[in-house]
C-alpha cells in the first residue's frame, strides 16, 4: 500500500489557495481513480483504492498545514508502513512556475507542513512531489502569498501541473521513482508568465 498525502488547510476559505495544491492533487487523483476520500480518522480525511494496480490510501490531513505531521505520525504508527511508501505532495514557491519537482528525500526547506512531518516521524527519507505555485512578489509577505488565490492564467497552469503531478505518482507506483523523476522533473509548462 502507498500512502499519498496532499498538504493543505481544511475549510472553504483556503480551498483554492496556493498552499492547498496538495489537497487539490488528492482531489484530482480521487476523481481520476474513483476513490472516495471522505472517511475521517488519523486527524485526516482519507480513502482507499487502487492506482496502477496497487493499493493506495489518499490522505488530506485536517490539522492545518503547520501540524500536518501529527496526522502522518498517527497513520504511520497505526499502519507501520515503510517510509518509502509515503508520498507527500505540497506547494513550492522556489521552483519555476509551470514545473513540478520530484525528490526521493531531503530537508523541508522553508515549508512548515514538511517541517512538521519530518519532525513528527523523525525521518526525511520519503518521496515528495513539489508543485510550483509562483514566486512571491516583493511587496507581499510569505503567509499572505501562500494563502492567496490564482489568477485565471495561473489557474490554467496549476491544473496542468496537478495533472503532471498525478501522472508522476502513477509512474512511481507503476515503475519507480527514478523513472518518474526522469520523465517529469524536466517538464516546463511556461516560458514565463505575464506579471
The DSSP secondary-structure symbol of 180 reads: H
Give the phi and the psi of residue 96 in degrees, each rounded to 5.
-65, 135
Contact status, residue 68 vs residue 76, Cβ threshold 8 Å: no
- Residues classed as catalytic: 19
Q: Is 43 left (phi over 0), alpha (psi -120 to 50) or beta?
A: left
CA dist., res. 5 & res. 11, Å (int): 17
Contact status, residue 168 vs residue 129, Cβ threshold 8 Å: yes
- The three cell numbers locating residue 114: 514538511
CA dist., res. 88 & res. 125, Å (int): 11
Amino acid at each position: 500500500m502507498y500512502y499519498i498525502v496532499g498538504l493543505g488547510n481544511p475549510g472553504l476559505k483556503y480551498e483554492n489557495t496556493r498552499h492547498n495544491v496538495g489537497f487539490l492533487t488528492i482531489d484530482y487523483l480521487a476523481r481520476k481513480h474513483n476513490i472516495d476520500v471522505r472517511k475521517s480518522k488519523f486527524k485526516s480525511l482519507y480513502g482507499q483504492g487502487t492506482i496502477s494496480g496497487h493499493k493506495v490510501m489518499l490522505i488530506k490531513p485536517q490539522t492545518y498545514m503547520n501540524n500536518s505531521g501529527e496526522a502522518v505520525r498517527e497513520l504511520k504508527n497505526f499502519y507501520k508502513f515503510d517510509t518509502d511508501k509515503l508520498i507527500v505532495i505540497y506547494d513550492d514557491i522556489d521552483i519555476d512556475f509551470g514545473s513540478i519537482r520530484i525528490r526521493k528525500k531531503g530537508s523541508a526547506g522553508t515549508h512548515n507542513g514538511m517541517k512538521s512531518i519530518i519532525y513528527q516521524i523523525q525521518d526525511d527519507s520519503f518521496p515528495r512531489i513539489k508543485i510550483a505555485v509562483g514566486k512571491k512578489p516583493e511587496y507581499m509577505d510569505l503567509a499572505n502569498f501562500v494563502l492567496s488565490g490564482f489568477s485565471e492564467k495561473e489557474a490554467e497552469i496549476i491544473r496542468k501541473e496537478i495533472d503532471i503531478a498525478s501522472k508522476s505518482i502513477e509512474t512511481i507506483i507503476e515503475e519507480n521513482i527514478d523513472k518518474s523523476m526522469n520523465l517529469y522533473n524536466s517538464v516546463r509548462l511556461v516560458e514565463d508568465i505575464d506579471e
